[in-house]
Amino acid sequence: MSTASPALDHDHDHEHHGPARGLKRWLLTTNHKDIGTLYLLFSLAMFFVGGAMALVIRAELFQPGMQIVDPHFFNQMTTMHALIMVFGAVMPAFVGLANWLIPMMIGAPDMALPRMNNWSFWILPFAFTLLLSTLFIPGGGPAGGWTLYPPLVLQTGQAFPFVILAIHMMGVSSIMGAINVIATILNMRAPGMTLMKMPLFVWTWLITAFLLIAVMPVLAGAVTMLLTDKYFGTSFFNAAGGGDPVLFQHIFWFFGHPEVYIMILPAFGIISHIIPTFARKPLFGYASMVYATASIAFLSFIVWAHHMFTVGMPLAGILFFMYATMLIAVPTGVKVFNWVATMWRGSMTFETPMLFAIAFVILFTIGGFSGLMLSIAPADFQYHDTYFVVAHFHYVLVPGSVFSLMAAAYYWLPKWTGHMYNETLGKVHFWLSVIGVNILFFPQHFLGLAGMPRRIPDYALQFTQFNMISTVGAFIFGLSQLLFLYIVIQTIRGGAKATDQVWDGAKGLEWTLSSPPPYHTFTTAPEVK
Amino acid sequence: MAVKMVDSSTPPEDEAGAARERVARLRRAARRTALALAVLAGAFYFGFILSMMGR
């Protein structure tokens, strides 16, 4: 897309200064690179916390009967695993990438609102400390599932207000982050960087940020209403007081379905950078990628009730949500086609970021197809609340979102640190991850089709073998992430010097900067032609 | 998209000043964008709860 001549280091500018020293640097920083690093490290920590909870779940499900934890704790694990992975791992990781990359990609000196950026991040550790602390409160943490459906969630003990406050804090952080992203992209672009010249990661984040602003207040409103139902005598969702518990489900999924796209659209952007780089060809269909992203975002607002086909909706409603959901396959298909067309007859090489990107395209597509199966309302009555659903959304979120994050980490880590990662170890990590994730989640399709319900700590004997296989896959995948941690630490500490360009085929403003880039970049705007 | 190389390693004072002024101007505009978006998010939150109260 771009032919960028190498820019010069900007670190000799007399007005520039380096970072503060010690803890103060990280507490008070307003630098987009520092805040991006904080987000990424925080999300990595949460990835391991949430992953440990997943391993508790899978260890318990290794065989039927109760072995390791009691059922109530199991339910807390499923709930907390989801909340932590969604709000603590995947979303902050993408915000971290946005912080690091958007200013460098659009030629801006920093995010538009650097102080608010600091607040956006530093709310998160407090929110998750609060959330995790509920596990130690009498009665335990939330155990009604991440969807927080009433009346079940209202049975949560003393932890309930802590959970609600933590969710509000996460929401405030997300909204502030989204506002910052939009304000930065719309106002801080370098001269000549028109919207249709923006890198796709920037485009996908712009659209994601609008999704966040539209739906996070809805989640906040819904959980506020849960709080007032429990403590202040309202009856929004209390049937005995004239309310309707199904209303909560509608509200939750009005947030929840766009939330899925919040976790996958930036991934599309990342993949749209990596594939052209390693295929050494421009991205096929740039404009159609932008329009497809916008179409997916629009459609994400009108499909929410496909999560609740079984609650008893009018037939017209079911048909509308079924067909609208199927429609999402069209722009998503455009994207997959474009990625494959970009690779077609390219001079491809298979470094670790490209391996993760190719795995993303294949495995995310599997998740997309199982989503299409679930969108068929009559069939959904069979699949609903089974392990088929668990397999579906984990294919979207793990080899989808998480693999894109891994790909991004390997792709931009040399730029961030100035060091190349160990390619052999990276490939070992990739193969362990891709094998582990398929052993983990593919058998869950069959468990679901055979009728195994989700969110249960015990199961009927006939499900044993596939559960055992799934648990083995979970431990392969989980433990292989320790290798990723090792690779990241090793790359930060040293290694072969990365060039400024890093990858032969990489295009874009960030590659015109030195590796690692100076603390302040683009204080004088580059001119984009 | 091509990038014109800008040698800002030792920018003249007037160029650096102009760049600072440009960023300050962009940030003022960004604050207006942010304020509008914050009002929108707040309106979604409170408007949503109020609309549910009116059911």
Structure tokens at B51: 């609309």
Distance set, CA A48 to CA A55, A84, A113, A278 (Å): 10, 10, 30, 30
Please state whether the peptide bond connecting residue A516 to the residue before it is cis, i.e. omega within 30 degrees of 0.
yes
Q: Give which of A305, A278, A262 is closest to A396, Cα–Cα.
A: A262
The ipTM (two decimal places) reads 0.87
Residue range A17-44: mean pLDDT, rounded? 93
pLDDT beneath 70: ranges in chain B: 1-13, 55
More confident call, A287 vs B6: A287
Is A110 assigned a catalytic role?
yes
Q: How much is the pLDDT for A10? A: 43
Average pLDDT over chain A, rounded to whole? 95
Cβ burial A130-147 (10 Å sphere, 16+ → b, else e): bbbebeeeeebbbbbbbe
Q: Is A17 a catalytic residue?
A: no
- The number of helix segments (H) and strand segments (E) in chain A equals 18, 2
Options A29, A184, A208, A332, the catalytic residue: A332
Q: Nearest 5°: phi and psi at A42?
A: -60, -45
Distance to chain B for A432, nearest Cα, Å: 39
User: How does residue A155 score in pLDDT terms, banded at 50, 70 and 90?
Assistant: very high
pLDDT tens-place string over residues A474-528: 999 999 999 999 999 999 999 999 999 999 999 999 999 999 999 999 988 998 9
Does A119 qualify as catalytic in the annotation? no
Q: Tens of pLDDT along A380-419?
A: 999 999 999 999 999 999 999 999 999 999 999 999 999 9
A20 touches chain B (CB under 8 A): no
Chain A residues lying within 8 Å of B6, measured CB to CB: 7-8, 524-527
| DSSP 8-state code for residue A141 | S
Band the pLDDT of A9: cuts 50, 70, 90: very low
| Tens-digit pLDDT profile for residues A247-269 | 999 999 999 999 999 999 999 99
Query: Of A10, A13, A527, which is closest to B4 when you measure between CB atoms?
Result: A527
| pLDDT at A215 > cutoff 50 | yes
Q: What is the mean pLDDT of residues A167-188?
A: 97
Residue A368 contacts B, CB cutoff 8 Å: no
Residue A319: pLDDT above 60? yes
> What is the reported pLDDT for A15?
47
| Residue A259 annotated as catalytic | yes
Q: Do B49 and A221 touch (CB under 8 A)?
A: yes
Alpha carbon dihedral A285, A291, A296, A297, in 10-degree steps, equals 140
> How far is Cα A468 from Cα A454, in angstroms, rounded to an integer?
16
A220 within 8 A of B45, measured Cβ to Cβ:
yes
Domains delineated in chain A: 28-512 (1.20.210.10)
Instruction: Give per-residue pLDDT as tens, A87-131.
Output: 999 999 999 999 999 999 999 999 999 999 999 999 999 999 999
For the segment A45-50, the average pLDDT, to the nearest whole number, is: 98
What does the pLDDT read at residue A2?
A: 42
How, if at all, do strands B2-4 and A527-528 pair? antiparallel
Distance of alpha carbon A529 from alpha carbon A2, whole angstroms: 9
Query: Is residue A322 within 8 Å of residue A375, measured between CB atoms?
Result: yes
- Looking at residue A416, its pLDDT comes to 97
A112: chain B residues, CB-CB within 8 Å? 26-27, 30-31, 33-34
Q: How confident is the model over B35-50, as pLDDT tens digits?
A: 999 999 999 999 988 8
Q: What is the pLDDT of residues A75-94, one digit of tens each?
A: 999 999 999 999 999 999 99
Share of chain A above pLDDT 90, in %: 95
Percent of all residues in chain A with a pLDDT value above 70, rounded to a whole number: 97
Record the pTM.
0.93
**What pLDDT score does A3 carry?**
40
What is the pLDDT, as a whole number, of residue A17? 66
What pLDDT score does A451 carry?
A: 95
State residue B52's pLDDT score: 85
Average pLDDT for A28-48: 97
Which amino acid makes up residue A419? H
